[in-house]
Amino acid sequence: MPKVALFQLCGGKHALPLAGVDRILPLPPVFPLPLLPEPFAGVFIHQGRPIPVLAPDSLGGAAVSQPAAPPAYVIVCTTEFGPVGLPADRMPRIVEQGAGHRVAAEHLGGAIDIFQFQGERYPFWRPETLIA
Amino acid sequence: MPRDSLLAVFQTRRLAVFALPRDAYVTASSPKVLIFRLGGIGFAIPIDLVEEVCAEGEVCAGREGRELAYRGVRIPRLDFGGQLGLPAGGIGAEGAWLILRGTEAPAALQVERIEGVFSQALLEYHPVPAILTLAGPLPYRQLALWREQPLVLCDVAALGEGL
What is the pTM (predicted TM-score) of this model? Answer: 0.81
Residues of chain A in contact with residue B139, where contact means CB-CB under 8 angstroms, are 34-35
Closest CA to B9 of B76, B68, B82, B74: B82
Residue B83: Cβ-neighbour burial (10 angstroms; 0-12, 13-18, 19+): middle
- C-beta atoms of B150 and A51 within 8 A: no
Residue type, A112: I
Q: Specify the length of chain A in residues.
A: 132
| Pairwise CA distance, residues B125 & B139, whole Å | 16
Provide residues of A within 8 Å CB-CB of chain B. Answer: 29, 31-37, 40, 43, 45, 48-52, 79, 81-82, 84, 131
Residue A26: Cβ-neighbour burial (10 angstroms; 0-12, 13-18, 19+): exposed
In Å, how far is A11's CA from the nearest CA of chain B? 26
In Å, how far is B72's CA from the nearest CA of chain A? 34
pLDDT at B15: 37
Residue B125 near residue B82, CB atoms below 8 Å: no
Of A29, A35, A131, the CB nearest to B134: A131
Q: Are strands A12-17 and B142-146 parallel, antiparallel or unpaired?
A: unpaired
| Pairwise CA distance, residues B28 & B7, whole Å | 25
Residue B149: Cβ-neighbour burial (10 angstroms; 0-12, 13-18, 19+): middle
- C-beta atoms of A37 and B85 within 8 A: no
pLDDT at B162: 30
| Pairwise CA distance, residues B82 & B110, whole Å | 11
pLDDT tens, residue by residue, B82-100? 888 887 777 787 889 999 9
Q: Are strands B149-153 and B41-46 parallel, antiparallel or unpaired?
A: parallel
3-state secondary structure of A37: coil
pLDDT tens, residue by residue, A58-115? 776 444 555 567 899 999 999 999 999 999 999 999 999 999 998 887 665 666 689 9
Residues of chain B in contact with residue A84, where contact means CB-CB under 8 angstroms, are 131
Q: Specify the length of chain B in residues.
A: 163
Q: Is the peptide bond before B139 cis (omega within 30 degrees of 0)?
A: no
Q: Is the peptide bond before A39 cis (omega within 30 degrees of 0)?
A: yes
Residues of chain B in contact with residue A50, where contact means CB-CB under 8 angstroms, are 126, 129, 143, 145, 150
More confident residue, B51 or B103: B51
- C-beta atoms of B132 and A79 within 8 A: no
